[in-house]
Amino acid sequence: MNRFGSNGEAFHASIISSYVSYCGLATKFQYIHGEVPSFRNVRMINGTALHTALELIHERKLWDATDIDLQKLFIDCLRIAEFEHDDHEVPVFWNEDKDAQKSVLINDATIMLRNYVRKTENRNCKIILSEAPFELSIGDGTQYRFEGRIDQLREYPDGTLELLDFKSGVRVPNNDEMRRMYQFAIYALAVREGKFQKDGEMINIGRLPDQLTWYQLKDHMEYLKPTPVAPIEERNGKYTDSYFKWFNKQAITHSLDEIKKITGNNRLRALNKVYFNTGHEKGPGRHITKITDHRINVMRKSIIWACAAIRMNIYMPNPSACTGCRFVDTCDMYLDGTDKEFVEADSFLPAEAYQLN
């Protein structure tokens, strides 16, 4: 059986995130008994293509690229993601109308990249590391080896060091969540204590980044018509500080009657006191959080405990994560002892606890 961290095999940030923040058993099913997926979903190759496009924008300084240039760039990156990436032999699961699905991806990517290159902070920063592989070893006696890759480490003219993770999905975590994310903690530890591959050498950064940024690329999508929205203070739900600040600076405030007139929507409720105009972006892009040395040291300890538990083959179920879990059937077979392979392969419960025929 494959145990992460044993026989020199490295841990990855995603395993620890899944183990600590989601469910120990789900981690076991996905990573320890993981099978090669039978297909790649479109979200994955879209994300890979966007990452490559951003890397090339910085490398080639494409700050004045036109929409056509950005479109061509993305089409090329999408081709590479589909046919030349490490896992290119795993087929992509496209919709029936592959061409239509591709053209939506290309159109959206062009808008996102257009607004990315327009941002002063993206143009004026110095890229320290980009798509950089790292090695990290942490422990308390026993050392646990980590490998991974950070999306970007940049420095601003005022010396601020920022670690960025580019996200192409729709979900943005809130502030409380961001400050507790193990993926960020492991990347921050890699920046403080690990080694990165850069231009054929291994280099150290040697200090914590000043800020950690969830870069939500979908924020760069634009409103297609004047769109009324509720003021952020009057909504349920939690948002990042970055979104809060951005919203209150960017949203246009008018009386309800004026907004009805502007948007042509007479059925608006009193809640709709602000609106965004056609072409306005949907968010700040950069959702920034800061962490202290103390917090990162506390998280470092729990990462070590999680590594030790995985190495000892300890995987606990988390019932509050079962809704929507894609391993429910496997999990039932495992817990009920109806899958011989699992029973023989590990020691979650003693073998006598299972009722195998």
Residues at the site binding ligand SF4, with contacts judged by CB under 6 A: 23, 25-26, 29, 317-319, 321-322, 325, 327-328, 331
**277 near 229, Cβ under 8 Å?**
no
Pick between residue 25 and residue 54 the one whose CB is nearest to ligand SF4: 25
Pick between residue 155 and residue 346 the one whose CB is nearest to ligand SF4: 346
Taking the mean position of all CA atoms in its chain, how far away is CA 258?
Answer: 39
Pick between residue 298 and residue 328 the one whose CB is nearest to ligand SF4: 328
Kindly provide the residue ranges of all beta strands, DSSP E only, lying in 54-141, ordered along the sequence. 92-93, 126-140
Rounded CA separation 165/149 (Å): 10
Q: How far is the CB of 335 from ligand SF4 (least distance, A)?
A: 8
Pick between residue 259 and residue 310 the one whose CB is nearest to ligand SF4: 310
Rounded CA separation 263/249 (Å): 20
Q: How far is the CB of 35 from ligand SF4 (least distance, A)?
A: 15
Pick between residue 252 and residue 335 the one whose CB is nearest to ligand SF4: 335
**CB contact set of 258 (below 8 Å; sequence gap of 6+):** none
Angle between helices 67-83 and 42-60 (to 10 degrees): 130
Pick between residue 105 and residue 343 the one whose CB is nearest to ligand SF4: 343
Q: How far is the CB of 19 from ligand SF4 (least distance, A)?
A: 11
Q: How far is the CB of 348 from ligand SF4 (least distance, A)?
A: 11
Kindly tell me the burial class for residue 274, based on how many C-beta atoms sit within 10 Å of its own C-beta (0-12, 13-18, 19 or more): buried
Q: How far is the CB of 175 from ligand SF4 (least distance, A)?
A: 25
Rounded CA separation 150/163 (Å): 8
Q: Whats the size of the chain, residue-wise?
A: 357
**128 near 196, Cβ under 8 Å?**
no
Q: How far is the CB of 117 from ligand SF4 (least distance, A)?
A: 41
